[in-house]
Amino acid sequence: MSEQAPENEAAAGPDGTPETEEVFGLSDDLVGAVEEALEAGWPAEVGKLVTDLHAADKADLVESLGADERLRLIDILGAGFDPEVLPHLDAAVREEVIDRLGPERLARLLSKLESDDAVDVFEDLDEAFQHRILTALPLAYRHVLQESLTFPEDSAGRLMQREMVVIPSAWTLGETIDYMRAAEDLPDDFYDLYIVNPKHHPIGKIPLSRVLRTRRPVRLTEIMETDLKKIPLATDQEEVAHMFRQYGLVSAPVVDEGGRLLGVITVDDVVHIIEEEAEEDALKLAGITEIDLYSATLDTTRARFPWLVVNLATAILASAVIGLFEATIEQIVALAVLMPIVASMGGNAGTQTVTVAVRAIAMKDLTDSTTRRFIGKETLVGAANGVLFAALVAGVAWLWFGSPMIALVLAAAMVVNMIVAGLCGTLIPLALERAGIDPAIASSVFLTTITDVVGFFAFLGLAALFLI
C-alpha cells in the first residue's frame, strides 16, 4: 500500500466513543486525491497513488470515479492496467472499462488471469466481442475459454479453475515435493493436492498442511483423504456454495460425466457466491435483480418496472375488493379509515414468515418433518399475535369511534388475517419451491395480495353483515 492509504486511521463514532478501527480498504481521501490528480492531469501522481493498491481496492476506486474520470484513469494506466481488477468490477462499470480497453488489450489482460477469473469476465461479453477476443488469444487459452462457455451458466464448470496440482497415485511424498519445487506452471495459490488414478479420476486429496508434516518416503495414498466431495460439472453454483459452507471446504474437485478430474473450485470464489446467494434473496423479496448502483437511470427504471406492474395489478385487485363494499363504506366512513390497518398488519406479519421460509428453503433446513412443524408453528404464531393485536386495535378503535361493534368487527378481521398470514407465509414459498419457481422472487407478491384481499374482505364483509 502506498503511504497515502490511511489504513490505520481510527474513526470515532457519532457519540465520541471510538468505533472499530478501519483496518483496510479505500478511503474517501484517497479517492479525492486521485480525482484531483486526474483533473489536474498529473499522470505520474495518479500512477503513484494507484500502483500499490490491492486489485480489489483498485476496482472500488474505478467504480467510485465519475464516467469521464474513469476513462481518463484507464488511459493513464495504459499497459500498466492491472488485469486482476477486471473480475472485481461491477458489471455495468466493467462494460465501460472493457469498451475503452478494446479487444486486443482485453485479450492480453485476460491471458494473464487464472482461468476461472478469465471466464468470469469473458462470459459477460457479447458474442461479436467474444469472437474478437478469441482470435487474439494464445491457442491453449482460447480452448479453455471456448469450452467453458459450453457449461451451463452459474455452474461448477464456469466456476472452476483449470490450474491445479494433480499427482499420480504411485508417487511418494518426496517425489511430489521434488516435482513441485521444479515445476514452472503451478497455480499461484493452492491448498490441496489431488491424487488421480491412471484414468484421471480423483481418488483422494491431501491438504498442504498434512504434506508438510509427512516424511519423504511416505506414499501419497497412505495419507490422502478419500472422502472426496466430487462436484459434477453442471452443479449449480448455489449447490457448490452450500457444500463448501456445510463442510468447511477450502477446495473441491470438479469432474465430468466420465468422472475425470477437470478442475478445482477454491473457497475464495465461493465466498462471493455465498454472499451473492444470501444477498439475492433479500433483493428478490423486494423485486430487484441486482444491486444496480452503477447502472444508468434508464436501465434501473426499466429493471424495476415489471415488479411494480405486478404490484399495481395486485393493488387494483385489492381495490376491487373494497369496491364491492362501496355502499357499506358510504354508510360508515370509519370503515375506510380503519381498513388499511388490517391489511397492513397481515402483510407485515406474513412478510416475517415468508422471509424465514425463503431463507430456510435456501439453506436446505426444511426436511419433511421440520416442514410440518414449521407450518404448524407459524400458523400458531399468527393466531397468537392475531389475538394480541386484535385486543390492541379494538381498544384503539373503540376509543376513536366510540362504537364497540366496529371494534369487534376490526378485532375479528385482524385475527382472521394474521392466521392467514402465518399459514400462507409458509405454504406459498413451499408451494412455489415444489413448482420449480424461485420462492424468493414470487412469495411476497402472492402473500401481500392474499393478506390485502383477505384483510379488506374480512373487515368490510363482517361490517356489512353485522353493522348495517
Q: Which is nearer to a copy of itself, 103 or 157 (CB)?
A: 157
Choose, by CB under 8 A, the member of 166, 170, 278, 391 that binds a copy of itself: 278
* H or E stretch at 86: helix 85-88
Cell numbers found for residue 88? 472485481
| Listed ranges 40-48, 142-150, 195-203, 355-363: which one lies at the site for a copy of itself (CB under 8 A) | 355-363
For residue 68, the SS3 value is helix
Q: How far is the CB of 31 from a copy of itself (least distance, A)?
A: 5
Are 414 and 377 spatial neighbours (Cβ–Cβ below 8 Å)? Answer: no
Question: 3-class secondary structure for 36-61?
Answer: HHHHHCCHHHHHHHHHCCCHHHHHHH
318 touches a copy of itself by CB under 8 A: yes
Q: Which is nearer to a copy of itself, 115 or 137 (CB)?
A: 115
CA distance 103 to 126: 12
Q: How far is the CB of 383 from a copy of itself (least distance, A)?
A: 9
Residues between 422 and 451 that touch a copy of itself (CB under 8 A): 434-436
Q: What residues contact 273, with CB distance under 8 A and at least 6 apart?
A: 159, 237, 238, 240, 241
Q: How far is the CB of 408 from a copy of itself (least distance, A)?
A: 17
Q: How far is the CB of 303 from a copy of itself (least distance, A)?
A: 9
CA distance 372 to 366: 9
Alpha helices, H only, 363-403? 368-401
Choose, by CB under 8 A, the member of 49, 62, 65, 442 that binds a copy of itself: 65
40 touches a copy of itself by CB under 8 A: no
Cell numbers found for residue 411? 378485532
Are 69 and 36 spatial neighbours (Cβ–Cβ below 8 Å)? Answer: no
Residues between 10 and 39 that touch a copy of itself (CB under 8 A): 13-15, 20-26, 28, 31-32, 35
Q: Which is nearer to a copy of itself, 149 or 282 (CB)?
A: 282
Choose, by CB under 8 A, the member of 91, 166, 170, 293 that binds a copy of itself: 293
Q: Which amino acid is at 462?
A: L
Residues between 232 and 261 that touch a copy of itself (CB under 8 A): 232, 234-236, 239, 242-250
168 touches a copy of itself by CB under 8 A: no
Residues between 87 and 116 that touch a copy of itself (CB under 8 A): none
Question: Residue 68 CB: number of other CB atoms within 10 A?
Answer: 10
Choose, by CB under 8 A, the member of 131, 143, 199, 229 that binds a copy of itself: 229
Choose, by CB under 8 A, the member of 170, 259, 319, 402 that binds a copy of itself: 319
CA distance 185 to 167: 14
User: Position of cell 465520541?
Assistant: 16
CA distance 103 to 135: 10
Q: How far is the CB of 66 from a copy of itself (least distance, A)?
A: 7
Q: Which is nearer to a copy of itself, 106 or 453 (CB)?
A: 453
Question: Residue 468 CB: number of other CB atoms within 10 A?
Answer: 9
363 touches a copy of itself by CB under 8 A: yes
Choose, by CB under 8 A, the member of 6, 39, 41, 66 that binds a copy of itself: 66
285 touches a copy of itself by CB under 8 A: yes
* H or E stretch at 202: strand 202-207
Q: Which is nearer to a copy of itself, 137 or 453 (CB)?
A: 453
Q: Which is nearer to a copy of itself, 144 or 156 (CB)?
A: 156
2 touches a copy of itself by CB under 8 A: no
Choose, by CB under 8 A, the member of 3, 181, 257, 399 that binds a copy of itself: 181
271 touches a copy of itself by CB under 8 A: yes
Q: Which is nearer to a copy of itself, 140 or 183 (CB)?
A: 183
CA distance 204 to 229: 10
Question: In the β-sheet with 231-232, what is the strand arrangement from edge to edge?
Answer: 231-232, 251-255, 261-266
Q: Which is nearer to a copy of itself, 56 or 101 (CB)?
A: 56
Among 41, 38, 81, which Cα is nearest to 58's? 81
CA distance 54 to 62: 12
Cell numbers found for residue 133? 477476443
| Listed ranges 58-66, 70-78, 96-104, 105-113: which one lies at the site for a copy of itself (CB under 8 A) | 58-66
Q: Which amino acid is at 215?
A: R
Choose, by CB under 8 A, the member of 127, 150, 368, 399 that binds a copy of itself: 368
Total residues in contact with a copy of itself, by rule CB under 8 A: 144
